[in-house]
Amino acid sequence: MTVSRVSGERTPPLPEADEGAVASAVTVRVSGALVDLPLSRRLTAFGFLLIAEFFYGWAWNTVDVLRPLFRASLGLSLTQAGSAYSAQGAGALLGALSIGQMADRLGRRTMLVVVMSGYGLLLLAGTLVTSYGTLLLQRFVLGLFLGGSFPVVVGIYVDLFRPTLRGKLASAINATFSLAIITLGIAFGHLGARDWRTLLWLGGLPPLLLAGFAFVVIPRTESAPPRQGKLPLAELFTPALRRQTLLLATMTGLNFFAYQAFSGWVTTYLLTIRRLPAAEVGRLIATQFAGNVLGGFFWGWAGDRYGRRVGAAGFFAAAATIVAYLTVPGHSWTLTLLGVLYGLTLSASVIWGPWLAELYPPHLKSTASSIFNWGRLVSFFSPILTGLLAEHFGLLRAMLVSSVVFALAAWIWLKLPETLRDTASSAVGVQLKE
């Protein structure tokens, strides 16, 4: 296959007139306009994206962190309070599909302004919620904008930096999201008991005020026109790309399913099966979270150094770690170590943002990145299915299903194309034959 390089984007074979032929060569395209901008300009732009990511993380996690407070305030049942997350997740799926395409058509900088303004305004709208119905509506519309954040942000930063830095950038994005959760938790401890709506103001007002600055600090990109008048989403399913798109969607779906099947039940498992005290359970969950943050930096580096598919090893390791976590004797230090290891391995998917963007033509970057969120549809069914399995076979066996699912996702990962080639060779342009 022919490889040339500045940006390192991998452009799949485009369909010919019959749209059925799949070319035998893959071109890694040169699009150095933004990469050649002064480093200070690109770093400023990325810093702005980190700010956007922080408030995105704040807005997304209010549905969980503030759940006991808005449940008490609105007089909701446990089921009603939990359904707020379902409404937000449904909106996020639709937002990922629609806003990702609009970003590729209308410009990613413009849609970043729309997304930031949208989730800022809708988070503030949460202060006006007075009933269960308005809560569901507010969370669904908020989810529309939150779901569009990932594909827009990824589509911007992969244009700003060369391929061997993109994994590290993804790690920084991941860490910023985690920092938002930590900060929200601290703020909850200090302010939540007084008026939980204050936390909505703190998370909603800054992005609403800052959104317009994107026109100043984010470089404008030129997107290629759509082919044959098709929607960007439709282009992902042309004959040359259909199999790849379906495999990616399956892989992300399995990831979300496996995560919910284990992480969604691990607190219940530790309390009811292991019979650990609540304080100890909280500490064990915190160590998993810490492992996830640290693992994000490792897998980002590994993805830039050894290729995007190296993370599949992380999913295989996650599968093995889950088996050990559920079967080893319940010593606290053992569970702590395995919890950290689970967090480390789970974060292997941090590279998916850049990888998804690289797998498709440049004018589909944001639409392609939205595939990550398609898997959320599958995650809606994971608690229900694992709950049914737990009723018939026990919670431990039901959670073990997540190990098999992670392994299957890793196997699919290895079946998909690699986009990062040897940078020393591709820098001068070489012919690689498969």
Query: How far are the Cα atoms of 8, 140, 322 from residue 21, in angstroms, in the given order?
Result: 24, 41, 43
| In a domain? residue 65 | yes
Question: What is residue 33's predicted lDDT score, i.e. its pLDDT?
Answer: 56
Q: Does residue 149 share a domain with residue 257? A: no
Question: What is residue 331's predicted lDDT score, i.e. its pLDDT?
Answer: 73
Picking from 196, 223, 250, the residue at the C-terminal end of a domain is 223
Tokens standing for 210?
């800052």
80-89, 314-323, 352-361: which has the minimum mean pLDDT? 80-89
Question: What is residue 30's predicted lDDT score, i.e. its pLDDT?
Answer: 35
**CATH number for position 252:** 1.20.1250.20
Q: Does residue 217 share a domain with residue 264? A: no
| In a domain? residue 14 | no
Question: What is residue 66's predicted lDDT score, i.e. its pLDDT?
Answer: 84
| In a domain? residue 234 | no
Q: Does residue 261 share a domain with residue 185? A: no
| In a domain? residue 127 | yes
Picking from 223, 256, 277, the residue at the C-terminal end of a domain is 223
Q: Does residue 307 share a domain with residue 215? A: no
Query: What pTM value is reported for the model?
Result: 0.80
Q: Does residue 321 share a domain with residue 176? A: no
Beta strand 9-11 pairing with 27-29: antiparallel
Q: Is 331 helix (H, G, I), strand (E, B) or coil?
A: coil
Query: How far are the Cα atoms of 111, 112, 324 from residue 215, in angstroms, in the given order?
Result: 11, 9, 50
Q: How far apart are CA 403 and CA 128, in angstroms?
A: 42
pLDDT at 9 over 70: no
Q: How far apart are CA 261 and CA 50, in angstroms?
A: 30
| In a domain? residue 173 | yes
In this prediction, what percent of the chain has a pLDDT beyond 70? Answer: 86
Q: Is 11 helix (H, G, I), strand (E, B) or coil?
A: strand
Kindly report the number of other CB atoms within 10 A of residue 380's CB atom: 16
Number of domains making up the chain: 2
Question: What is residue 269's predicted lDDT score, i.e. its pLDDT?
Answer: 84
Q: pLDDT band for 228, please (50, 70, 90 cuts).
A: low
Question: What is residue 227's predicted lDDT score, i.e. its pLDDT?
Answer: 58
Q: How far apart are CA 149 and CA 111, in angstroms?
A: 9
Find the distance separating the first CA and the last CA of the chain, reported in whole Å.
Answer: 7
Return the closest-CA partner of residue 140 out of 157, 162, 118. 118
| Interval 143-178: pLDDT, tens | 999 999 999 999 999 989 999 999 999 999 999 998
Q: Does residue 299 share a domain with residue 396? A: yes
| In a domain? residue 25 | no
Return the closest-CA partner of residue 346 out of 366, 320, 382, 372. 320
Phi, psi of 3, rounded to the nearest 5 degrees: -130, 125
| Interval 379-405: pLDDT, tens | 777 777 877 888 888 888 989 999 999
| In a domain? residue 124 | yes
Q: Does residue 58 share a domain with residue 196? A: yes
Phi, psi of 29, rounded to the nearest 5 degrees: -80, 155
In this prediction, what percent of the chain has a pLDDT beyond 90? Answer: 48
pLDDT at 26 over 60: no
Q: Does residue 394 share a domain with residue 303? A: yes
Picking from 223, 256, 289, the residue at the C-terminal end of a domain is 223
- How does the average pLDDT of the chain come out, rounded? 83
Highest mean pLDDT among 84-93, 187-196, 384-393 belongs to 84-93
Q: Does residue 203 share a domain with residue 132? A: yes
What domain range includes position 105? Answer: 45-223
Higher-pLDDT residue of 213 and 183 is 213
Q: pLDDT band for 12, please (50, 70, 90 cuts).
A: very low
